[in-house]
Structure 1
Amino acid sequence: MKFRITHTTRYVYGAPVSLSPHLIYLRPREHSRQHLRRFDLRISPDPILTRGQDPLDNELWQARFPELTERMEIESQVEVENTESNPFDFVLKSYAIEFPFEYEPVFKFALGPYLAVPFVDTQHALKQWLDEHFTDRPTGTVDLLTAFTRLFFTHFTYVRRDEIGIQSSITTLQKGSGACRDFAVLFIELCRTLGLAARFVSGYLYAPPGEDERTVGAMHAWVEVYLPGAGWRPIDPTSGVWCDDLFIAVAHAAQAETVNPVQGTYYSKTPVDSQMNVNVVIEPLD
């Protein structure tokens, strides 16, 4: 699938403010199944712009603003193609076909940050939830992840949350609801509790108008699980599916907050009101 994506973020301040350097994660990833055809980034006021890679090899842009301003706007224009039409087009290593399995030492070392379990109280709550709700576990690794994803989808209720931040996993367990970023973090911590390496993914999900309120005007979040022989395989707990070519990945992280699309703050000697508006439009291309 080919898409055109327009992502606009606007900030308006009640008086001139000084802006900190802003980190920008908006450029989609490129690999054998996802091809970036165009990426244009427009920022106002004009910044001093640099780009590079973060420690996880995500494309990172940094904008510095030398002057005071009452407005800031960041707009990205993207044309991208994803060819991942069959999410099960992979072959596992023989030792990983059945679950549980142990990662090979060379993989386990590299996957360390993605295997880290949460704090003790959270770990206890996660194990308790798994013991209560995920009792009939398939022995096949792919079957187990499929069943787990469907269980997660049917157990939790999606709600759109416009406030900043991510719920703790315990909060999501207690409420039984959350936004896509909340679900991704909880799913990751449940996977790590099971012994599966998992990481957070920020990106875009295309759904036809009127079919999925979860994608209207905003970015999406999902999870990648590392499977020996297959590599990082994307799963969307919010939709209850393995990800296909409707998902456009931008950045990944061991800790979700590190790949927020726009990161920065503003300073003023006196209190200043601020407003933010974000709009994402995804259009399929022929």
Structure 2
Amino acid sequence: MARLAIRHETFYTYEKPVSFTQHRLLLRPRDSHAIRVADAVLTVSPPGEVRWVYDALGNSVCCFTPAGDSRVLSIISDLVIERFPAQISDLHIQDPQTATPIVYTPADRATLAPFIDPATDDTEGDLLRWLRDRVGGPHEPALAFLLRLNRSIHDAFEYQPRDMGAAQDPAHTVRTGAGTCRDFAWLMVESLRRLGYAARFVTGYLYCPAHGDLRGAGATHAWCEAFLPDLGWTEFDPTNALADSPDLIPVAVARTPLEAAPVSGAIYGDPGETSLAVHVDVRALDSLPAAA
């Protein structure tokens, strides 16, 4: 078990005062057998109404409506979590449904259907051609294929950090050969769906004390989850070629990247020039300085 402190700071600055609609915040992990939230403090400015709900996928959502006009919107989340990782080991899976092609039971398929249908188009066939070159033989275990695809994206694509903007269309990522973590996660999600896998987009945090070369630290991170018989939802991070790693701290899952944005909302009025600054710090609790 690891105790981690997470600080997530989001600052919007506007040239002119604006007012705000309700904002949807996905900043807090939901308690599970792998994560327990020991402490959580949300500091917002300007102040306003705060209400917590669980959405249809079980994500912990804060509905925050800032009051009045302001030239600054500040959202700071401080968490202490306990992490109980269970890494993938040398599993001997005898279930034939875990071989390629993947087969789900009727009950599972009814639940997983929204995550099996692709959400993007591939009108020129770029994504499909790229994917066909990576599909293995019909007897390759699904887990072996997923690990291989995860590593293939990591090795073949150039990582280019990008703080703002939506996730790229997967076909665009294939054509350019570059992207950031949300682009690689979305590429893997949509690729797996075209092969009949249930896959979903995950956002959260990355803890890397012993891996200074991990890509995506210092900001929110994104990766892919695929559903496998006997294993359930299993994490794959193509940005760093990680699988079910204790360094991955999931906060929210969604069918598309847009639905998993950590902060979403709108403003009223003409803001003039706008700037956004986001910083995430994840560290072991024992490494924090002692209180004065």
Band of TM-score, shorter chain: over 0.9
Q: What are the within-5 Å matches in structure 2 for residues 87-106 of structure 1?
A: 87-88=88-89, 94-106=95-107
Q: What are the within-5 Å matches in structure 2 for residues 137-176 of structure 1?
A: 139-176=140-177
| Conserved? CA contact 1:205–1:246, under 8 Å | yes
The offset of 1:161, in angstroms, is 1.1
The offset of 1:285, in angstroms, is 2.4
Structure 1 residues 98 and 207: CA distance shift in structure 2, 3 A? same
| Letter matched to residue 274 of structure 1 | T
SS in 2 for 1:152: helix
The offset of 1:6, in angstroms, is 0.6
| Letter matched to residue 144 of structure 2 | D
1:81 corresponding residue in structure 2: 82
> What is the CA–CA distance in structure 2 between the aligned matches of 1:79 and 1:89, rounded to whole Å?
31
1:49 corresponding residue in structure 2: 50
2:238 corresponding residue in structure 1: 237
Matched, 1:277 2:291: no
Q: What are the within-5 Å matches in structure 2 for residues 1-286 of structure 1?
A: 1-88=2-89, 94-122=95-123, 124-135=125-136, 139-208=140-209, 211-212=212-213, 214-268=215-269, 270=270, 272-286=272-286
Alpha-carbon RMSD across the aligned residues, in angstroms, is 2.1
> What is the CA–CA distance in structure 2 between the aligned matches of 1:33 and 1:126, rounded to whole Å?
34
| Conserved? CA contact 1:92–1:230, under 8 Å | no
> What is the CA–CA distance in structure 2 between the aligned matches of 1:69 and 1:271, rounded to whole Å?
10
Unpaired stretches in structure 2, ≥5 consecutive residues: 287-292
SS in 1 for 2:215: helix
> What is the CA–CA distance in structure 1 between the aligned matches of 2:35 and 2:93, rounded to whole Å?
21
| Conserved? CA contact 1:117–1:193, under 8 Å | yes
> What is the CA–CA distance in structure 2 between the aligned matches of 1:91 and 1:83, rounded to whole Å?
22
> What is the CA–CA distance in structure 1 between the aligned matches of 2:217 and 2:121, rounded to whole Å?
36
SS in 2 for 1:56: coil
Deviating above 3 A after TM superposition, structure 1's stretches of 4 or more consecutive aligned residues are 88-93, 133-138
Structure 1 residues 119 and 72: CA distance shift in structure 2, 3 A? closer
Range that drifts further, 155-164 or 253-262 = 155-164
SS in 2 for 1:215: coil
> What is the CA–CA distance in structure 2 between the aligned matches of 1:285 and 1:85, rounded to whole Å?
20
Give the paired residue count.
285
